[in-house]
């Protein structure tokens, strides 16, 4: 059930977070406000939400069934657009590629827009280690980066921070005046990053979708930082998981509102950028070079396993996190992995190893709320059960090993079962002697057991 270190760290952190009332109240308040807008958006925009997500699920399952072909088609179209498509099988591979890009273009400063794949690669640490200044530009990401933290939530990275805490972080790291006004705090971040977009040599982004038939990538965002990060620097690098494919540009009509409805309760995210490559002739601006890094990093392992393969349909909306009673109690950081909540508990053990991360499958009540809200119908709670099984097979705990062996042994022996049954009777009779009230409503145990009766009268 997971390595002692990660597993016990999870339990330790859960205990702290679950009893931190301020933390829990803030989280519940934020998620409650999310919940109400999502419900309204689903009802007002879609004729039938269930139908809509069924259609989306069908398209994503088609993608999985044709993944190698669609990846090749995407690569071909993207290359024709002038994009340079690169493939990385794991973290080391991706680091090597990023290193080459940095050397080739003499990169000294990087501006990043939100990207969960870059969290998988721990890219900020990697770049800082190389002496490259790296700045997050999404407001939430900037807040956690300045405070030396990891993102708390895949959509809302600083969900756990109060205005007061953010003000303190900005005072400490940016030397600004104290304020608890959300507008002023946002403006501090805006002013802080203005020059960064213009002085950075490399913009790094993620991608929400890769369009196979068009060879374009999609980036959804509300703030404009991704637009600026991909428009201003002379080189653009986008990092995307190999599962991000959509068959056609026409699928955007469904997937853009689907993702924003589930992600934030908006009908449409403010900016949906369609990027085909570097600046073309006749365009006023844009990067000279654009790279797209296709990242495997364990995804082909998930692909290999029929029970969890459909988890690769995930569009990273974060709805299952917001619905999960365990996430809402223990918080995002307790998972200690880029992908938290139910989807994190499903995919992380396959991306990073069942032995160390199998315990995440047990951080669930199996209530099915995650499956219920998933916009692409991933049966998340069933997959959590599958993971539990695999986790027990991979690294069963000593307690379970002993208990299950003992149970099997006892059930195979008439003698041991009889001892057990007799023990229950003795205990009940003893209780009756001590306090008749306690056993008054219970039926009296029969004078003798069925098995002893059968041994005399049977046959």
Positions in 160-179 near another protein (CB under 8 A): 161-163, 166
Site for another protein in 180-199 (CB under 8 A): 182-183, 185-187, 189-190, 193-194, 197-198
Report the C-alpha gap between 226 and 219 in whole angstroms: 7
Helix (H) or strand (E) holding 321: helix 319-323
Site for another protein in 93-112 (CB under 8 A): 93
Q: Which is nearer to another protein, 35 or 122 (CB)?
A: 35
How many residues bind another protein (CB under 8 A)? The answer is 101
Verify binding: residue 332, another protein, rule CB under 8 A.
no
Q: Taking the CB of residue 29, how many other CB atoms lie within 10 A of it? A: 10
Q: Which is nearer to another protein, 82 or 353 (CB)?
A: 82
Evaluate whether 160 touches 143 at the Cβ level (below 8 Å): no
Q: Which is nearer to another protein, 191 or 405 (CB)?
A: 191
Verify binding: residue 3, another protein, rule CB under 8 A.
no
Q: Which of 67, 428, 396 is nearest to 247 (CA)?
A: 67
- Choose the stretch contacting another protein; rule: CB under 8 A; options: 85-93, 313-321, 325-333, 421-429: 85-93
Smallest gap from residue 403 Cβ to another protein (A): 36
3-state SS assignment for residue 328: helix
Burial class (CB in 10 A: 0-12, 13-18, 19+), 327: buried
Verify binding: residue 410, another protein, rule CB under 8 A.
no
Verify binding: residue 329, another protein, rule CB under 8 A.
no
Q: Which is nearer to another protein, 278 or 349 (CB)?
A: 278
Residue in this structure with the two tokens 């099984």, named with its chain if needed:
389
Verify binding: residue 121, another protein, rule CB under 8 A.
no
Smallest gap from residue 380 Cβ to another protein (A): 19
Residue in this structure with the two tokens 């003798």, named with its chain if needed:
448
Report the C-alpha gap between 77 and 83 in whole angstroms: 9
Q: Which of 176, 170, 244 is nearest to 210 (CA)?
A: 244
- Choose the stretch contacting another protein; rule: CB under 8 A; options: 115-123, 250-258, 322-330, 356-364: 250-258
- Choose the stretch contacting another protein; rule: CB under 8 A; options: 38-46, 99-107, 122-130, 335-343: 38-46
Verify binding: residue 137, another protein, rule CB under 8 A.
yes
- Choose the stretch contacting another protein; rule: CB under 8 A; options: 7-15, 225-233, 383-391, 409-417: 225-233
Evaluate whether 56 touches 258 at the Cβ level (below 8 Å): yes
Q: Which is nearer to another protein, 270 or 431 (CB)?
A: 270
Report the C-alpha gap between 322 and 28 in whole angstroms: 9
Report the C-alpha gap between 204 and 197 in whole angstroms: 11
- Choose the stretch contacting another protein; rule: CB under 8 A; options: 12-20, 66-74, 335-343, 429-437: 66-74
Verify binding: residue 324, another protein, rule CB under 8 A.
no
Pairing of β 271-275 and β 84-88: unpaired
Site for another protein in 257-316 (CB under 8 A): 257, 264, 266-280, 282-286, 294, 296, 300, 303-304, 309
- Choose the stretch contacting another protein; rule: CB under 8 A; options: 83-91, 118-126, 421-429, 437-445: 83-91
Smallest gap from residue 13 Cβ to another protein (A): 23
Radius of gyration of the chain measured on its C-alpha atoms:
27
Helices 252-264 & 49-65 angle (0-180, nearest 10): 120
Q: Quick one: which of 140, 338, 341, 349 contacts another protein (CB under 8 A)? A: 140
Smallest gap from residue 180 Cβ to another protein (A): 10
DSSP readout, 230-268? HHSSSEEEEEEETT-EES-GGGHHHHHHHHHHHHHS-SS
What's the gap between Cα 243 and its chain centre? 14
């Amino acid at each position: 059930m997971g390595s002692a270190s990660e597993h016990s760290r999870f339990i330790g952190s859960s205990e702290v977070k679950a009893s931190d009332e301020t933390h829990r109240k803030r989280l519940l308040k934020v998620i409650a406000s999310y919940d109400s807008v999502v419900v309204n958006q689903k009802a007002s925009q879609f004729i039938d939400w269930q139908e809509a997500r069924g259609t989306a699920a069908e398209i994503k399952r088609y993608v999985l069934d044709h993944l190698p072909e669609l990846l090749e088609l995407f690569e071909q179209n993207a290359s024709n657009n002038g994009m340079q498509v690169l493939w990385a099988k794991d973290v080391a591979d991706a680091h090597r590629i990023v290193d080459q890009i940095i050397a080739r273009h003499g990169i000294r400063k990087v501006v990043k827009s939100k990207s969960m794949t870059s969290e998988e690669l721990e890219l900020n640490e990697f770049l800082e280690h190389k002496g490259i200044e790296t700045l997050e530009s999404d407001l939430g990401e900037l807040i956690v980066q300045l405070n030396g933290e990891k993102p708390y939530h895949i959509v809302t990275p600083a969900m756990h921070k109060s205005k007061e805490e953010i003000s303190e972080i900005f005072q400490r790291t940016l030397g600004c005046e104290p304020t608890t006004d959300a507008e002023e705090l946002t403006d501090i971040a805006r002013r802080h990053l203005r020059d960064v977009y213009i002085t950075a040599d490399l913009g790094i982004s993620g991608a929400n979708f890769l369009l196979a038939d068009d060879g374009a990538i999609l980036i959804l965002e509300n703030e404009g930082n991704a637009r600026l990060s991909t428009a201003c620097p002379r080189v653009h690098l986008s990092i995307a998981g190999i599962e991000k494919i959509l068959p056609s540009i026409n699928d955007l009509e469904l997937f853009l509102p689907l993702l924003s409805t589930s992600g934030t309760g908006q009908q449409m995210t403010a900016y949906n950028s369609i990027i085909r490559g570097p600046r073309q002739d006749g365009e006023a601006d844009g990067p000279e070079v654009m790279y797209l890094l296709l990242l495997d990093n364990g995804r082909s392992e998930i692909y290999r396993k029929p029970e969890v393969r459909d988890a690769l349909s995930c569009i990273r909306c974060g709805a299952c996190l917001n619905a999960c009673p365990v996430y809402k109690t223990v918080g995002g950081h307790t998972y200690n992995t880029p992908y938290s909540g139910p989807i994190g508990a499903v995919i992380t053990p396959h991306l990073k190893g069942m032995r160390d991360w199998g315990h995440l499958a047990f951080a669930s009540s199996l209530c099915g709320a995650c499956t219920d809200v998933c916009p692409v119908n991933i049966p998340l709670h069933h997959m959590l059960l599958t993971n539990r099984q695999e986790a027990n097979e991979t690294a069963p705990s000593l307690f379970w090993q002993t208990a299950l062996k003992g149970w099997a042994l006892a059930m195979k022996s008439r003698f041991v079962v009889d001892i057990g049954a007799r023990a229950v009777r003795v205990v009940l009779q003893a209780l009756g002697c001590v306090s008749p009230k306690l056993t008054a409503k219970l039926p009296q145990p029969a004078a003798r057991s069925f098995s002893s009766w059968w041994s005399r009268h049977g046959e």
